[in-house]
Amino acid sequence: MYPEINSERLWQRHVEMAKIGATKGGGVHRLALTSEDIAAHRLLADWAEARGFAIALDDIGNMFVRREGADSSLPPVASGSHIDTQPFGGRFDGITGVLVAFEALEALEDAGIESRAPLETIAWNNEEGSRFIPACMGSAVYAGNEPLDDMRAATDANGETMGSCVDRLKAALPGATHRELGAPMTAFLEAHIEQGPELEANENIIGIVTGMQGYRRFTVEVTGEDAHSGTTPRARRKDAFMAANDMVQALRAELEDEADTVRFTIGRFSVEPGGISVVPGRIAFTIDLRNPVPETLEKLGNRIPEICRENAGPCTVVTDEFIKQPPLEFPAEIRERFTAAAERRGYPHQAIYSGAGHDARHALKLCPAGMIFIPCWKGISHNEAERAEPEHIAAASQIIADLLVDIANET
């Protein structure tokens, strides 16, 4: 017996959440563990506690909302995503997967359906990695892919540590019990907006994710010498800005492919000291490189430090690869279950590959995991204009609810 989800409630929850960190541009600015992000966690906890669901937190700030099963000793079947956003990001990225999972628990509660294994909604902490590097920090630590102590020591631009901010989240959720990192799960399912245009173009409303491209991320620090812009001839300059500019040109020439399969992005770039009439002595920038083919990712990524050195001119350069994740494939078993559920509900669906990284990557280390995508208006994401349709979100919630019950009762 499957529950029927309540699409109006789900959309109302979406609207409430989108108020927390709302921007003038219609998006959301809710960086990990800021007061906005903590307020959003608090709101989810209020909703959970009103339904009698238990709350737990682990040491990296992942939040677990639990609906007990007939056999509470069984590892939970879980679904969720993240609450934090990009700087001036959208209203759907992350939070949609949390609300879709939470609605599944509420729908089961409304219908009075008991599952054998417990069911959980997870809000993985700091998925975006915009305030504390790296991204997917919460799920990575939970799965043992990043060390807890190093990640708690990560600092934001103001020198605040991740650990102290996690403690603030704990203080805001006094009713939460403690969850051990790596505690087993029966399965993990994640719904997320596509962040690409494929489902919309194909008029499908469910994308069943086959795999995820790999990515490598670097910081590049270029050091030259501050100098007066009026008096210093080019020949005597160690202009870190111009050196970085040359590096970027050379990187593009070598990394960008004609077939347009390589994703090469420079999203942060800072200049010091930053005077209009000062030749800059220090530049720092980030590189995000992604590709579905392991060999391509390996070969291109390995060239990055070399290309930077070759184009440093009179400056020095230090590159640091701070995260590297190979491409992955989700297990056929979960994909087939998603397909069957979409067929049963009559939702137009397709297989789809994920260009983005998601927390399901790390969950897959602990248990069978899988993802579904929701159509995303024009493919626009990491943007205040991000948009998804209420009925598509509802369909995803229905599929997640159906699969949670399936898997929980078969365990």
Residues forming the site for a copy of itself (CB under 8 A) = 86-89, 128-130, 133, 135, 194-197, 213, 215, 217, 225-236, 239, 241-242, 245, 248-249, 252, 256, 260, 263-281, 286, 288, 290, 354-357, 379-384
User: Looking at beta carbons only, is 167 or 226 nearer to a copy of itself?
Assistant: 226
Closest to a copy of itself by CB, 75 vs 134, is 134
| CB nearer a copy of itself, residue 62 or residue 130 | 130
Q: How far is the CB of 112 from a copy of itself (least distance, A)?
A: 40
Min separation Cβ 35 and a copy of itself, Å: 19
Choice between 47 and 285, CB closer to a copy of itself: 285
| Least distance (Å) between residue 315 CB and a copy of itself | 14
Least distance from a copy of itself to the Cβ atom of residue 125, Å: 17
Identify which of residues 21 and 89 has a Cβ nearer to a copy of itself in the complex. Answer: 89
Question: d(Cα 343, Cα 402) in Å, to the nearest integer?
Answer: 12
Q: Measured in Å, how far apart are the chain's first and last C-alpha atoms?
A: 16
What's the min distance (Å) between Cβ of 139 and a copy of itself?
15
Instruction: State in angstroms the smallest separation of the CB of 182 from a copy of itself.
Output: 26
**Spatial contact of 189 and 310, defined as CB atoms under 8 Å apart:** no
Nearer to a copy of itself, 1 or 259 (CB): 259
